[in-house]
Amino acid sequence: MSLLKRDAQGPHPAIRSPQNFVAGAFLIVAAAFVVWMLSGLPQGTLRTMGPAMVPRWTAIGIGIGGAVLVVLSFVKEGEALERWQLRGPIFVLASLVIFAAMIRSVGFLVAAPLSMLVAGFGSREVRPVELAIFTVVMTVFCAVVFRGLLNQPLPMLILPALSIQF
C-alpha cells in the first residue's frame, strides 16, 4: 500500500496534512501505552471508582482524539512537518532531572528556580530579565500554594553546612 495517489496530474500524497497525521499517531501510541501501563490496576465502577478509572478513560479519550486527527489528515489540507528543533526538549528534560535531583538535597527554594531557568533557556527568544522575574514570581507563588495553602510536606530550604532545614 502506498501513501501516494496517482491521477491524471501524477502522484500526490494521500496524507494531506502530515502534521495532523504525526500528531494523531503520537497521541494514539501514547494513549495505548498508558492503557497498557494501567492494565494491572482495577478500574472499579462508577459507584466505587478504582485507581485506574480516570487515567484509563482520559487516555482512551486522548486516543480517540488522535484517531480523529489521523482521519482528518487524509481529508483536510494542512501544514507540512517542520524541521525538528531539539534545543527545547533537551532543556526541558534537563530541568526536570535537575529538579528531581535537587528537591530533597537543597529544597524547593533552590531546585525550583534553577529548573525554571534551565527550562526557560530552551527557547532562542528568551529574555533573561523576563525569565528571572517569572522564576521569582512562580517560585513564591508555588511555595505559598503548596506549603502554605495545601500544607504539603515540601522541603523549602535545606542547607546542611549551615544546619538550616525549613
Q: What would the grid cell of residue 26 be?
A: 503520537
Could you list the residue range(s) of the whole structural domain that residue 117 is in? 87-165
Specify if 82 maps to a domain. no
List pLDDT tens digits, range 52-61.
899 999 999 9
List pLDDT tens digits, range 112-127.
999 999 999 999 999 9
Specify if 9 maps to a domain. yes
Is the model more confident about 57 or about 148? Answer: 57
Burial of 47 (0-12, 13-18, 19+ CB in 10 A): exposed
List pLDDT tens digits, range 65-117.
999 999 999 999 988 888 888 999 999 999 999 999 999 999 999 999 999 99
Specify if 127 maps to a domain. yes
Given a cut of 70, is residue 4 above it in pLDDT? no
Confidence of residue 1 (pLDDT cuts 50, 70, 90): very low
Specify if 95 maps to a domain. yes
Same domain, 113 and 153: yes
Gap between the Cα atoms of 74 and 68, Å rounded: 10
What percentage of the chain's residues is helix, strand, coil (to nearest 5)?
A: 65, 10, 30
Confidence of residue 162 (pLDDT cuts 50, 70, 90): confident
Computed over every residue of the chain, the mean pLDDT equals 89
State how many domains the chain has: 2
Q: What would the grid cell of residue 113 be?
A: 528556580
Q: What is the pTM of this model?
A: 0.61
